């Protein structure tokens, strides 16, 4: 099942389910919007039981693609979760998942602009598979973790490396600027993509391939990540967990390459769709 939303960032959204032909069908008769509170087990069961072709075609002409689920309460991220990215960074493979946060204020639609502050100097990109939590919990066993996952989506974990690495404090400092978490276009349930296994992923800057990878190179898989995080914090419905990036980030190039105003970033993951952002100076 593929879910998505259309609508302006600060306006009402049209919740949709894609049919077999990829046509967006309006599900607002079943649920007013896809939010952390509305996507309950009962709601998901009702959506699964509905033939999309019995639903009206969504009236989406002129509406931008929004994030597939409304604002999450929390955004968690896993650092250095690809063996080839750890090698690129010259860092050892972590023994357990490295956890950091992005501010929930970084969350935005998949094609929203990347905002460039005059105080930035090392703006970077990261294509990532992200988990969306459906059922919260503490101390979730790895064997039960998939029962807590609503689905998966595509994220660009935009990063300002100078703020992240050179300004002291937590990584969140370089990860949390507005629009640093483009999310979507689709929320895809795990049964359609083997819970994130074996998915090719890529990212281009101005049409030049920068990142190529595969989720099979993740050090910690999605079930392990969910179980591990729940040892330290209570996961909540709608929480977004960004699971790490493959090699090819700007910081890893020799010499490093950074995003500038006017640059266009395009990225995708098999089965999860594609995003495009333009870097825009404030």
Categorize the per-residue pLDDT at 256 as very low, low, confident or very high, splitting at 50, 70 and 90: very high
Q: Are 129 and 199 in contact (CB under 8 A)?
A: yes
Which of 16, 76, 90, 66 lies closest to 231 in space, CA to CA? 76
Strands 240-242 and 75-79: parallel
The pLDDT of residue 3 is above 90: yes
> Is the pTM for the entire model greater than 0.85?
yes
Q: Are 265 and 114 in contact (CB under 8 A)?
A: yes
Instruction: Render pLDDT for 39-62 as a digit per residue (tens, 0 to 9).
Output: 999 999 999 999 999 999 999 999
The pLDDT of residue 118 is above 80: yes
Instruction: Render pLDDT for 81-110 as a digit per residue (tens, 0 to 9).
Output: 998 887 877 778 899 999 999 999 999 999
% of the chain exceeding 90 in pLDDT: 94
The pLDDT of residue 230 is above 90: yes
Categorize the per-residue pLDDT at 72 as very low, low, confident or very high, splitting at 50, 70 and 90: very high
Categorize the per-residue pLDDT at 142 as very low, low, confident or very high, splitting at 50, 70 and 90: very high
The CA-atom distances, in angstroms, between 44 and each of 2, 47, 150, 179, 189 are 11, 5, 9, 28, 10
- In this prediction, residues 220-240 reach a mean pLDDT of 98
Instruction: Render pLDDT for 157-201 as a digit per residue (tens, 0 to 9).
Output: 999 999 999 998 789 999 999 999 999 999 999 999 999 999 999
Q: Are 149 and 195 in contact (CB under 8 A)?
A: yes
What pLDDT does 211 receive? 98
- In this prediction, residues 212-230 reach a mean pLDDT of 97
Contacts of 196 (CB under 8 A, 6+ apart): 129, 131, 152, 190, 215, 221, 222, 243
Using CA of residue 40, residue 44, residue 49, residue 50, what is the dihedral sign?
Answer: positive
What pLDDT does 127 receive? 98
- Beta strands per DSSP E along 19-82: 24-26, 65-66, 75-79
Continuous segment of H or E residues that includes residue 44: helix 41-48
What pLDDT does 268 receive? 98
244 vs 87, more confident: 244
Which letter does DSSP use for residue 162 in this model?
A: H
Taking the domains of the chain in order of start, what are their residue ranges?
Answer: 2-66, 75-281
Q: Cis check for the bond before 185: say yes or no (omega within 30 of 0).
A: yes
Residue 164 to residue 70: CA distance in whole angstroms: 27
Mean pLDDT of the chain: 96
Tokens of 127: 């294509």
Within 13 Å, how many C-alpha atoms sit on residue 260's CB side?
3
Strands 208-214 and 200-205: antiparallel
- CATH class of segment(s) 75-281: alpha beta
């Amino acid at each position: 099942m593929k879910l998505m939303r259309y609508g302006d960032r600060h306006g009402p959204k049209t919740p949709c389910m894609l049919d077999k032909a990829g046509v967006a069908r309006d599900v607002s008769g079943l649920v007013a919007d896809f939010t952390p509170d509305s996507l309950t087990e009962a709601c998901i069961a009702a959506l699964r039981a509905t033939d999309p072709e019995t639903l009206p075609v969504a009236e989406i002409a002129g509406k931008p693609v929004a994030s597939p689920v409304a604002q999450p309460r929390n955004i968690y991220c896993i650092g250095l979760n690809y063996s080839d990215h750890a090698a690129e960074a010259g860092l050892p493979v972590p023994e357990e998942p490295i956890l950091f946060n992005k501010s929930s204020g970084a969350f935005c639609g998949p094609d929203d602009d990347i905002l460039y502050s005059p105080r930035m100097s090392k703006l970077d990109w990261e294509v990532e598979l992200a988990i969306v939590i459906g059922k919260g919990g503490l101390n979730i066993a790895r064997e039960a973790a998939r029962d807590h996952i609503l689905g998966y989506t595509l994220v660009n974990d935009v990063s300002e490396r100078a703020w992240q690495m050179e300004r002291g404090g937590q990584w969140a400092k370089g990860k949390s600027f507005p629009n640093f978490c483009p999310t979507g276009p689709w929320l895809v349930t795990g049964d359609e993509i083997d819970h994130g296994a074996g998915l090719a992923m890529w990212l281009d800057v101005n049409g030049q391939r920068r990142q190529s990878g595969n989720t099979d190179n993740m050090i910690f898989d999605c079930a392990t990540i969910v179980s591990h995080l729940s040892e330290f914090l209570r996961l909540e419905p709608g929480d977004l967990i960004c699971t790490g990036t493959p090699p090819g980030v700007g910081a890893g190039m020799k010499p490093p390459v950074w995003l500038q105003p006017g640059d266009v970033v395009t990225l995708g993951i098999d089965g999860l769709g594609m995003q495009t952002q333009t870097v825009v100076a404030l």
